[in-house]
């Protein structure tokens, strides 16, 4: 591989590194969220909704912390409490959009395994986009010196 090709690949990585980190955090938190939901529901015998709310709440905190410390670490950021409340707001709006998209797709397609898988994927994609824009443009935007 030539030096010019290597430099080009480095430029691509640099321009998409933050998005890649955001996606990696999202994937890891998704796995943690699913595992916590399973633990709360199966091991601790919480009701389905209580287990989901508990797992979601912990996942939001984990996601905020990972994005603050890793994805957007180089940005001058808002105070932690303010930023956490902003992140919870964005995550809640994205969760509502995710579930709404899931529900609408199931109404349009049905409830076979394939239909539910597609609905789940559409919901996750809608939530992901809202989370990215909310995190990048609002929650973790660069704070100007006052």
- Give yes or no for residue 4 having a pLDDT over 90: no
For residue 145, name the pLDDT band (cuts at 50, 70, 90): low
Domain assignment present for 146: no
- Give yes or no for residue 146 having a pLDDT over 80: no
Give me 2's structure tokens: 């030539």
**Residue 130: its H or E element:** helix 113-134
| Residues ≥6 apart with Cβ < 8 Å to 85 | none
Domain assignment present for 43: yes
What DSSP state is assigned to residue 144?
Answer: P
Q: Tell me the average pLDDT across 17-41.
A: 92
Give me 80's structure tokens: 């932690």
Domain assignment present for 104: yes
Is residue 37 a contact partner of residue 51, using CB atoms and an 8 Å limit?
A: yes
Give me 66's structure tokens: 């990972």
Residue 109's pLDDT is what?
93
Tell me the pTM.
0.79
Q: How many CB atoms lie within 10 A of CB 60?
A: 20
Domain assignment present for 113: yes
Residue 5's pLDDT is what?
84
Residue 38's domain spans which residues? 3-139
Is residue 91 a contact partner of residue 25, using CB atoms and an 8 Å limit?
A: no
Residue 129's pLDDT is what?
95
Domain assignment present for 145: no
Mean pLDDT of the chain: 90
Domain assignment present for 130: yes
pLDDT in tens, 77-115: 889 999 999 999 999 999 999 999 999 999 999 888 898
Q: Tell me the average pLDDT across 4-31.
A: 88
Number of independent structural domains in the chain: 1
């Amino acid at each position: 591989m030539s030096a010019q090709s290597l430099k080009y690949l480095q430029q691509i990585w640099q321009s998409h590194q933050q998005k890649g980190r955001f996606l990696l955090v999202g994937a890891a938190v998704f796995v943690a969220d699913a595992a916590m939901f399973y633990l709360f529901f199966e091991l601790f015998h919480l009701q389905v909704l209580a287990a989901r709310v508990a797992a979601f709440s912990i996942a939001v905190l984990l996601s905020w912390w990972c994005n603050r410390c890793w994805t957007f670490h180089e940005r001058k950021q808002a105070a932690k409490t303010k930023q956490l409340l902003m992140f919870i707001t964005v995550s809640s709006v994205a969760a509502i959009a995710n579930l709404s998209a899931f529900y609408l797709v199931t109404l349009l397609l049905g409830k076979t395994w394939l239909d539910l898988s597609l609905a789940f994927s559409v919901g996750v994609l809608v939530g992901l986009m809202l989370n990215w824009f909310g995190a990048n443009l609002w929650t973790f935007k660069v704070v100007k010196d006052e």
